[in-house]
Structure 1
Amino acid sequence: MNSNKKILLYFIVSSIAFQTFSQRKRKDYLVTFTTPFGKMHAILHNETPQHKKNFLKLVDDKFYDGLLFHRIINTFMIQGGDPNSKKAKAGELLGNGDVGYKVPAEITPELFHKKGVIAAARDNNPEKASSGCQYYIVQGQVWNDSTLARQMARSPLRTYTEEQKNVYKTIGGTPHLDGNYTVFGQVIDNLWVIDSVASQPRDKNNRPLKDIAMKITCKKMRKKKITKLYAYTFGE
């Protein structure tokens, strides 16, 4: 092959690679949570690539289908992803099931615990590594200046932007969890589904008295379409 053909081939390959990269940048995954109370849609953050990759793999494997929201606390959060919950007997204590590995912490101050946030559950390991499968979705509550200050004082982050403070005072959330758990996603519509799940009757271990099963699916979609459908603006 002569030099001119080599140069032409190089530019063709480079062009294909660039187009593939651009298309990948223009698309992302839309995650759908289906519950007995309705559906809600979510995106996963690129700032937490290990959590995003792990969650999408589990969803693709249909790992979550049929599992329960096994722990609910009104004005706080709803939690699911325990594999033991799929065939659990009524009243059985749940929350200890896992997939045999942890995901390294990817805690970043830009991702905070506002309402609708998807974050990884974890045990008390000092590295703050996440459960490989259990997650929670924040409900939280709306705070005023004085109550928010007390909540933020409990967070290792300590420093908040004015925008973040305003979100906590309007949309709400759980500020004291910031810096302690990895936030890796965000529900972008139908936040009332979280309220419906969180408000159900529960036992002393915060398990719903009536099972609340989930199904989670994902679909790759153009970001512009996600923005048009759900008014969510990507941060890139």
Structure 2
Amino acid sequence: MKRLFTICCLLAVTITSFAKPPKNQYVRVKTSYGDCIIRLYNETPLHRDNFIKLTKKGFYNGTLFHRVIQNFMIQGGDPDSKDTTKTKPGAELGNGDVGYTVPAEFRDSIFHKRGVLAAARDDNPKKASSGCQFYIVEGKRITDARMDSLENGRLKGYKIPAWQREFYKTVGGTPQLDHGYTVYGEVVTGIDMVDHIAAVKKDARDRPIENVPMMVELLKKKECKQLDKLLGLAKK
């Protein structure tokens, strides 16, 4: 009996350890220009959970990256971009939504560095995010002079921390968007996909001449745990 009890305890511990969820959720964005994997931030739970909900529904599958600006960002997630009458070259996209917004979730430790996932939005006083549209930052390296100018202008009242300045100078990003648009994830592999899409030929509305559809899927728990471990996030 004692041996049976010990075996049962070991099985219970094993099952519990396997059932324990990963620290972070990751998603894969697939395009004809390659794939990227994005870690969703736990620090922005409203945006994280909303993106997970839409991804589970397959909402993003077949939507387009409808607005791309090299050295800035690539934007997608407009449900109208699934409409065949609007996917013809030259048709305007970017006004589609899901009928709700997500409250802004600004965090001082999260900023618009190269490779982050952030929520698009219309012009509203609360800076609430679109319920579905997003962008991924390609960005470029930013000088101290440019950041000084932003602090005296667009970012008036907000000082870019020294460590973030260093990142902007060496890796790049879009600091002009900080505390204006919610950042809620970052590319951990496949940033070259963003670079390739940002460089495609586009029309006067910054829409790619040739459609760039996407598929978005949630990574399974095992894959998420492996990435947590690889990125040193498993114990955080």
TM-score, normalised to structure 2, is 0.85
In the other structure, the counterpart of 2:161 is: 161
Identify which of 20, 31, 36 aligns with 1:23: 20
Residues 156 and 233 (structure 1 numbering): CA distance in 2 closer, same or farther, change over 3 Å?
Answer: farther
What is the rounded CA distance, in whole Å, between the counterparts of 2:165 and 2:157 in structure 1? 13
Tell me the residue number matched to 2:40.
44
Find the counterpart in structure 1 of residue 61 from structure 2.
Answer: 65
The 3 A distance-change label for structure 1 pair 232 and 96 is farther
Alpha carbons 1:116, 1:191 under 8 Å: kept: yes
Partners of 1:146 and 1:234 lie apart in 2 by 38
Separation in 2 of the partners of 1:139 and 1:218?
A: 22
Q: Given residue 141 of structure 1, which amino acid in structure 2 is its aligned partner?
A: K
Cα deviation, residue 99, structure 1? 0.5
Q: Which amino acid aligns with 2:58?
A: K
AA matched with 2:92: L
User: Where does residue 213 of structure 1 map in the other structure?
Assistant: 213
CA displacement at 1:30 relative to structure 2: 1.5
* Structure 2 counterpart of 1:127: 126
Please name the residue that 2:77 is paired with. Answer: 81
1:149 aligns with 2:145: no
Q: Secondary structure at the match of 1:188?
A: strand
Which string of whole-angstrom CA distances, capped at 9 and with x for unpartnered residues, describes residues 5-60 of structure 1?
xxxxxxxxxx99xx68x923x44222101011101001111111111110001000
Q: Distance in 1 between matches of 2:221 and 2:61?
A: 21
Counterpart of 1:225? Answer: 226
Matched, 1:34 2:33: no
> In the aligned structure 2, how far is the partner of 1:202 from the partner of 1:232?
39
Check the 8 A contact 2:37/2:189 in 1, yes or no. Answer: yes
Q: Is 1:156–1:178's contact at 8 Å kept on the other side of the alignment?
A: no
Deviation at 1:193, TM superposition (A): 1.0
Gaps of 5+ in 1: 1-14
Paired residues of 1:157 and 1:179 also in contact (CA < 8 A):
no
Question: 2:98 aligned with 1:99, yes or no?
Answer: yes
CA contact (8 A) 2:23 2:228 kept: no
Structure 2 stretches of 5 or more lacking a match?
1-11
Paired-residue identity, %: 44
Q: Tell me which residue corresponds to 1:11.
A: none
Match of 1:56 among 48, 52, 55: 52
State TM-score, norm by structure 1. Answer: 0.85
Q: State the shift of 1:155 in Å.
A: 2.2
Query: Which whole-Å deviations, capped at 9, do the CAs of 1:119-156 have from their partners, x for residues lacking one?
Result: 00000110111100000001110012212322344225
> How far apart are 1:235 and its partner, in Å?
9.0
Kindly indicate whether the alpha-carbon contact (under 8 Å) linking 1:30 and 1:221 is maintained by their aligned counterparts in 2.
no
Confirm or deny: 8 A CA contact 2:115 2:137 kept in the other structure.
yes
- CA–CA separation in structure 1 for the residues paired with 2:69 and 2:139: 9
Task: Confirm or deny: 8 A CA contact 2:56 2:217 kept in the other structure.
Answer: yes
Whole-Å separation in 2 of the counterparts to 1:38 and 1:163: 31
